[in-house]
Amino acid sequence: MSADAWWKNGIVYQIYPRSFQDSDGDGIGDLAGIRRRLDHLVALGVDALWISPCYPSPMADFGYDISDYCDIDPRFGSLADFDALVADAHAKGLRVVMDFVPNHSSDRHPWFIQSRSARDDPKRDWYLWRDPAEGGGPPNNWRSNFGGPAWTFDAATGQYYCHSFLREQPDLNWRNPEVRAAMYEAMRFWLRRGVDGFRIDVLYHLVKDDEFRDNPPNPAFVEGQDNAHRVLPLYTSDRPEVQQIVIEMRKVADEFGDAKSSRVLIGELYLPLARLMAYYGEDANGVLQGVQLPFNFQLIAAEWQAPVIDRIVRDYEAALPAGAAPNWVLGNHDKPRIASRVGEAGARLAALLLLTLRGTPTLYYGDEIGMTDVPIPPDEVQDPFEKNEPGKGLGRDPQRTPMQWSGGAPNAGFTEGRPWLRLASDWRQRNVEAQWQDEASMLRLYQRLIALRRDEPALHEGRYEPIDAGTELLAYARVCRGRRLVVLLNFGAEAAVVSHELVPIRPRLLFSTAAAASKATDNSGSGPGFEPTVGWTLAPFEGVILSD
Ligand code: GLC
């Protein structure tokens, strides 16, 4: 690999800690469990793990409601377990990225308990308190992202507090310098413990309008949609003042590490392309002072069609500031799984896409074995989003079910107790153990692709060159120091012939997503479907990497 910072060409693997591996039989995954499974990540070939929040939390939003920014929830273990995990991960060459949730704390955080105790408490201004509107009711029309108003009345002090999410998640006041200082200290606490960076939760939400103006109605809202979409988040997200905070966070991260092992900031940002780019923080001299990786979620939302994806990739590449590191994501703990969105064959193609586009890929646990969304019966629902807005398909439990390790152990080897969420019904067939044995499996596909990506500079650091290839095909090249790899993806259910003008003169098949071709990744000379005057034939839903 090159001398670039690790996060530029490394691969990030997201762990939802409740669901990865339980070690004490309480049915909830924990840090000791993650530690026990590090060799899976090594075998898969990823470079870093990002752990969704494991801080002390009343778990109203399963850890995204933090009651102490500098400790570990006993359900997940202790600080000693965390240190041991970081030490083991580092010894195995893996980086550890911590989740950081700065927009809101838990309502049980001592800061909030103090803040709500009296109007003149010194911590009052650490949160957003407002008088009721004239005539009563919430101060304005801001909506919570989890349904209902973004304001909850606190009878004891006669004011409302703001919460962009659950009422158990009061928004911190980032205009207050003491809040900033306290949060930056929390970041340093973990950086000193050796974490390699942070994924920053809803970074674009941190600052709200200082005049608390009403959000405008959303003309595109359709009944049945997520209630938060009734208004446009003009005054509640992506405010200009956030940019200064981003710069300050970056400075904190930059106090630690050197160029090669720099600490990374990954921003959670659901924003249109142009706004996303702002979070790289390019200054007048072209210096990037923002987060190194503003999460690029476009593949999660995209319609699964070759021309759509082609446009997305070209526009994204064109929009990046000079020197900015691109990144791609297929799924996370908030969104339906890729295998459920595009099917098993589509998910194989998606893996090829994720790992051959230019930029840092982030994988969601379980996607490497093709896990699908698990329907959760109403009486087993855990996610507060589903509880608040039932039946709209917004619930996130289906993509958070326990990791499927083994077909032979109880609960797929996830826990010896009762899992907090039911397992997928296919765990006896679809699991890590079985897929290591099967050359044609999704897991082997991921592992081979990751290995190839690591071996081929063109794939991990090469230029991206678009190729025009029609409506069913997505094609592009990755080019580095004279080596040109052509990636062809057939999105169609029919075989497709790629014109010989688009493929290398004497193409060599480096990789195919087709299960049958999985043993034949090294066949030199003409590939199975190559005719020099015609072109390369791709099977339905097949993707390949060709070299000269
Ligand atoms: C982010 C998290 C999500 C959480 C929300 C509130 O979007 O990814 O899981 O519920 O923020 O913290």
15-69 pLDDT, tens digit per residue, is 999 999 999 999 999 999 999 999 999 999 999 999 999 999 999 999 999 999 9
CA distances in angstroms from 399 to 334, 403, 421, listed in the order given: 8, 10, 10
Closest CA to ligand 1's atom 4:
64
522 class by beta-carbon count within 10 Å (0-12 exposed, 13-18 middle, 19+ buried): exposed
* Dist. CA 64 → ligand 1 center (Å): 6
Q: Is the dihedral of CA 13, 98, 263, 192 positive or negative?
A: negative
Residues with CB under 6 A from ligand 1: 61, 64, 101, 165, 201-202, 268, 333-334
Instruction: Check residue 532 and give its pLDDT.
Output: 80
Phi–psi pair at 464, nearest 5 degrees? -105, 130
**Distance of alpha carbon 431 from alpha carbon 124, whole angstroms:** 50
- The three-class DSSP label of residue 545 is strand
SS (H, E, C) 136-157: CCCCCCCECCCCCECEEEECCC
* Dist. CA 205 → ligand 1 center (Å): 11
* Dist. CA 460 → ligand 1 center (Å): 30
248 in catalytic set: no
416 in catalytic set: no
Tell me the pairing of strands 535-538 and 508-512.
Answer: unpaired
Kindly give the number of the ligand 1 atom that is closest to the alpha carbon of 64: 12
For the chain, residues with pLDDT lower than 50 are 1, 518-526
* Dist. CA 63 → ligand 1 center (Å): 9
Closest CA to ligand 1's atom 3:
334
Kindly give the number of the ligand 1 atom that is closest to the alpha carbon of 164: 6
Per DSSP, 56 falls in state S
Evaluate if pTM is beyond 0.95.
yes
With tokens 């306290």, the residue in question is 182
Site to substitute for ligand 1 among 15, 16, 61, most atoms within 8 A of C-beta: 61
- The three-class DSSP label of residue 27 is coil
Instruction: Check residue 533 and give its pLDDT.
Output: 81
Radius of gyration over every alpha carbon of the chain, rounded to an integer in angstroms: 24
Closest CA to ligand 1's atom 2:
201
Site to substitute for ligand 1 among 67, 165, 206, most atoms within 8 A of C-beta: 165
Closest CA to ligand 1's atom 5:
64
* Dist. CA 88 → ligand 1 center (Å): 28
Closest CA to ligand 1's atom 9:
334
Longest dimension (CA), the chain: 81
DSSP alpha helix (H) spans, 265-406? 273-278, 298-301, 306-319, 338-356, 384-388
Tell me the pairing of strands 197-200 and 95-100.
Answer: parallel
* Dist. CA 403 → ligand 1 center (Å): 20
* Dist. CA 372 → ligand 1 center (Å): 21
Which residues lie below 8 Å from residue 37, measured CB to CB, with a gap of 6+? 20, 21, 405
Kindly give the number of the ligand 1 atom that is closest to the alpha carbon of 332: 8
Query: pLDDT tens-digit profile of 131-173?
Result: 999 999 999 999 999 999 999 999 999 999 999 999 999 999 9
In the set 22, 99, 201, 282, the catalytic residue is 201
CA distances in angstroms from 427 to 24, 345, 374, 390, listed in the order given: 21, 19, 11, 27
Instruction: Check residue 516 and give its pLDDT.
Output: 62
Of 226, 292, 258, the closest CA to residue 10 belongs to 292
In the set 185, 255, 455, 548, the catalytic residue is 255
Kindly give the number of the ligand 1 atom that is closest to the alpha carbon of 65: 12
